[in-house]
Structure 1
Amino acid sequence: MLRVGVVGVGMMGQHHVRVYSELAKERKVELVGIADADLERAKELAKKYGTVPYGDYSELAREGLDAVDIAVPTSLHKDVALEFINHGTSVLIEKPIAETVENAEAIIEAAEEKGVTLMVGHIERFNPAVLKLRELIDRGELGKVVTISAKRVGPMAERIRDVGIIIDLGVHDIDVISYLFGQRVRTVYARAGNVLHPAGVEDHALITLGFKDGTGIVETNWLTPHKTRTLNVVGTAGIAYLDYIEQSLKLYNQEWIKEAKIEKKEPLRNEIEHFIECVETGKRPIVDGEAGLHALKVALLAQKSARTGKVLEVEE
């Protein structure tokens, strides 16, 4: 049984703790402890889920964990990840992998040197509707895919202070669109700005992604009063409409309309179970460090493109 821990128990981290607690009840893991700079918050959740609270993640790192789940602010990813990796602990890091390419590369290199599993939490890769859509694309149901466009909009997120919307939200669809095309992004062009967010970071963006065989478009903002998470795929033989939240997928062509049968399941649970399997078996995660690094590179270039007004090439 894997000994696991969670670092960062804020808005997202608390859900990670809940899932590990459920898995612990099923005797799939042992939730050794949770750490947060807000020790009272850690104590509150530890009491609720029957584990041990830590105010200093370094103390948790010394507990001999097999795996740790890191859900701290992006700017802290490198320091926290390296602390655990250096103790021989496998790591799941919430997206994006880091705030800079250099820090992301440092995490990847350390994990390779220590021989531990490194996975990046791009949760939409584990959405049952996305997995079904990739299956249908691979089967040729839509013919040759020409464009993929995503809309990820909603109210302002006051909790996000250290990054803009491209890094916080746009990176989801950058990764998913690349996954659905089965290709890396080659060029990036973006327009972005700040209207309301008090931190001064961009709170709306429109990103165009150039691929070898098609185009991706990501629309994202913190200005829309209601949350929308959708993705459309246009192919030579039809079009697909996906709703991330509803986990629904509809396909249209000239003759029929049909809805895919999807067994709905919490993407976070799927993600964490995959991480545990990779740690146990040694197989490479489907969202490894390199995939996380590519999504980050593209997101950072989108920010730069918005500042310069230029189409930028993605270097590999």
Structure 2
Amino acid sequence: MTNLRVGLVGLGMMGRHHARVIREVEGIELVGVADGQGDVHGAAGNLRVLSSVSELVAVGIDMAVVAVPTGLHEEVGLALAEAGIHALIEKPIASTVQAGQRLVEAFKARDLVGAVGHIERFNPALQSMRARIEAGELGEVYQIATRRQGPFPARIADVGVVKDLGTHDIDLTAWLARSKFESIFARTTTRSGRAHEDMVAATGHLTRGIITNHLVNWLSPMKERLTIVTGEKGAFVADTLTADLTFFENGTVATQWDSMAAFRGVSEGNVTRLAIAKPEPLRTEHEAFRDAVLGIRSDIVTMEDGLNTLRVAEAVLESAVTRRVVDIEPLG
């Protein structure tokens, strides 16, 4: 079977990882790369670095990966759609909801596969957690809380922490819960001297009644990536830095030592660190995109998904400015 021919637009920090993984995944072949700034990380290998999307299309590609700054997503994505090329665009889908909507419409009109690179969905800890929730191991889900904190990334300049990091948590929360955001309330602050926010605390409500809480920032000296899902049978805790998944069962054994109960609780349940396979999330994401183009399966993050996530991110920013709860009207 002939490999699908892949083009890569953008050879920055994320683009270099895409180049490596594309070369590792069966059934696809990296045949062209483009970046107007050149190849600072040496990701192109023996490929000539092209300067435009039109040059990349001329090489003859079936699908493309877009890893350029967010402000260029619409321009590059529309050019690929016009050329009839399936595309995986890094998150967020675009810099504005309007731009994201234009991308959704362009790919839909041409019956092309359009995916958004919300890589956390493909983290093995979260993939296992979702399957276990669906199997009823947690019972009814009550709350989803995330913490995504770490030092300031100099590479991000065109969006704030909400659209860059926060969109990970918005997407994975809706995906885990199989439920869309209904409303959001948020506070942001800017402490790094840039134009965009670098810290956010947000509380949301999903259409199935689940409540959410998200702490995201670029100001913490430690790096943290946690997702905690609490339900009627206990809580799952996923550390997506290590891809570890732990299940905390509800208390069943009474704590008879009074002084111990003061800080351990009046009862304890079993705590199990679950053994799961840990494939690289970026590789899993590329395999899903390949299979979607081939029509084999459809577990990609669609452009419609990416647009819904961006709508919630903009509602977070609106809430921070207005200091009000913002209702989010559902789309399709």
Q: TM-score, normalised by structure 1?
A: 0.95
Q: Do the aligned partners of 1:62 and 1:87 also contact (CA within 8 Å) in 2?
A: no
Residue 255 of structure 2 corresponds to which residue in structure 1? none
Q: Does 1:228 align with 2:227?
A: no
Q: Distance in 2 between matches of 1:271 and 1:70?
A: 14
Report the Cα distance in structure 2 between the residues aligned to 1:199 and 1:37, rounded to whole angstroms.
25
Size of the aligned set, in residue pairs, is 309
Give the aligned partner of residue 274 of structure 1: 288
* 1:243-281 deviation digits (Å, cap 9, x = unpaired): 001101111112422122210111011001110111112
**What is the aligned partner in structure 2 of residue 200 from structure 1?**
195
Deviations 1:22-50 (A, max 9, x none): 23xx5x222111111112538x3223xx3
Q: Which stretch shifts more, 14-23 or 182-191?
A: 14-23
Opposite residue 234 of structure 1, the aligned amino acid is T
The Cα RMSD (Å) is 1.3
Provide the rounded CA distance (Å) in 2 between the counterparts of 1:18 and 1:60: 18
Displacement of 1:159? 1.1
Q: Which residue of 1 aligns with 2:144?
A: 148
1:191, CA displacement in angstroms? Answer: 0.4
Q: How many angstroms apart in 2 are the aligned matches of 1:290 and 1:170?
A: 18
Residue type at the aligned position of 2:305: A
CA contact (8 A) 2:141 2:230 kept: yes
Q: Aligned partners of 1:29 and 1:240: how far apart in 2? A: 35
Select which of 308, 313, 316 maps to 1:302. 316
Does residue 32 in structure 1 map to residue 37 in structure 2? Answer: no
Matched AA of 2:283: R
Name the CA distance, whole Å, in 1 between partners of 2:11 and 2:53: 12
Q: Does 1:257 align with 2:271?
A: yes
Aligned counterpart for 1:110 among listed residues 106, 114, 120: 106
1:124-135 to 2 correspondences below 5 Å: 124-135=120-131
Counterpart-to-counterpart distance in 1, 2:185 and 2:300: 27
Which amino acid in the other structure matches residue 82 of structure 1? L
Which residue number corresponds to residue 72 of structure 1?
A: 68
TM-score w.r.t. the length of structure 2 is 0.90
Preserved contact between residue 32 and residue 47 of structure 2 (Cα < 8 Å): yes
2:323 & 2:158 partners in 1: Cα distance? 23
Runs of 5+ in structure 1 lacking a partner?
none
Q: Percent identity?
A: 39
The answer for unaligned runs of 5 or more in structure 2 is 252-268
Is this contact kept in 2: 1:33–1:60, CA < 8 A?
Answer: yes
The runs of at least 4 consecutive aligned structure 1 residues that moved more than 6 Å come to none
